[in-house]
Structure 1
Amino acid sequence: MSRIDWLENHMTHCDTMSAWVHAQFRYEFEDQPLADWQREFTAGQTNGKWRCLIAMDQDRLLGGAALARDDLAERHDLGPWLACVYVTPEARGQGFAEQLIEGICTHAKSIGITKLYLHTHDRRDYYAKRGWIVEEQFEAWDKEQWLMTRLL
């Protein structure tokens, strides 16, 4: 039986989730060793910087998504962000990413956030189908990126 819950309630999965994010988005972490990111991500579960919602089957971690205070170093003027969206390859295609994204959006709205941001280099169409709007195109990490927003 799968379920969605906050990572802060399952901190034994924190190192795994942060390692997956670090590997998936390695181009963003070129200057940050995994151990440093794991400490930052773990602290982010309580200090509000990287609040992560996770999907699990029993106690097996399937993926997660975060509500991040700041996810684009060059754009500190923007935020908060949907960030760190990752689902394991074997769990893809089952709707977990959408559940996680909607969970983050619902939570953000419940605490008074009216607009979320994200950036992506390869999932623009996926997010556009789910109500996200392209605000601008830019280059970062030697990749074409799209800055997208969603009103809540």
Structure 2
Amino acid sequence: MATRLEWLADHPQHSDTFAAWIHRQFHYEYAEQPLVDWQREFAEGQHNGDWKCLIALDGEQLLGGAALARADLASRPDLGPWLACVFVSPEARGQGLAERLIEGICAQAKAAGAGKIYLHTQDKHAYYAKRGWTLLEGFTAWEKQQWLMVRNL
């Protein structure tokens, strides 16, 4: 069966799993937030517009996802929307899934009227630069170098 992209809001049974993957992958961002609190916030975010998540499914198996976030960087409340929570499970990598998810989120942001979309990354700025994202600035957060990037839609 071909991998398909669908909105997490239509598959809420996968919300806690994906939220747990994100909590683990980006553990430094969630150091102050217990997993159960994040899972609740993320699940609510599927309906209140805070974390609109697109997921990749193979049958009913969750392979990855990416979110269109209203806010994703406390120090920059002036910016948004954001590409956030990009994650593909290790066994599903190398098939272009992340790129499909990113393009799906960008298309959703554009359809919602956004002219630009932002992201921040610790170590993937070269990956995003190859895909049309421009570096706005470097900054330090979570005791690490981070990169703020933008893409015109």
Deviation per CA, 1:68-122: give whole Å up to 9, x if none.
0000011111111000000000000001000000000011111111100000011
Match of 1:23 in 2: 24
Q: What SS is found at the alignment partner of 1:90?
A: helix
Flag structure 1 segments of 5+ consecutive residues without an equivalent: none
Q: How many residues align?
A: 152
> 2:9 maps to what in 1?
8
Corresponding residue for residue 68 of structure 2: 67
TM superposition shift of 1:59: 0.3
- Who is 2:92 aligned against? 91
Aligned to 2:120: 119
- 1:28-72 deviation line (CA, Å, top 9, x unaligned): 001000000000000000000000000010000000000000000
**Aligned-pair distance for 1:12?**
0.2
Q: Name the residue aligned to 2:54.
A: 53
Partner of 1:149: 150
> Where does structure 1 differ by over 4 angstroms across 4 or more consecutive aligned residues?
none
| Structure 2 match to 1:109 | 110
Structure 2 SS opposite 1:27: coil
Secondary structure in structure 1 of the residue aligned to 2:52: strand
Q: SS where residue 33 of structure 2 aligns? A: coil
Q: Which amino acid aligns with 2:142?
A: W
Rounded to whole Å, the distance in 1 between the matches of 2:143 and 2:94 is: 29
Equivalent residue number for residue 83 of structure 2? 82
Q: Give a deviation string over 1:115-144, Cα, whole Å, max 9, x none.
A: 000000110000000000000000000110
TM-score, normalization: structure 1?
0.99
Report how far residue 7 of structure 1 moved.
0.3
Equivalent residue letter for 1:104: I
Identity across aligned pairs (percent)? Answer: 65
Secondary structure of residue in 2 paired with 1:84: strand
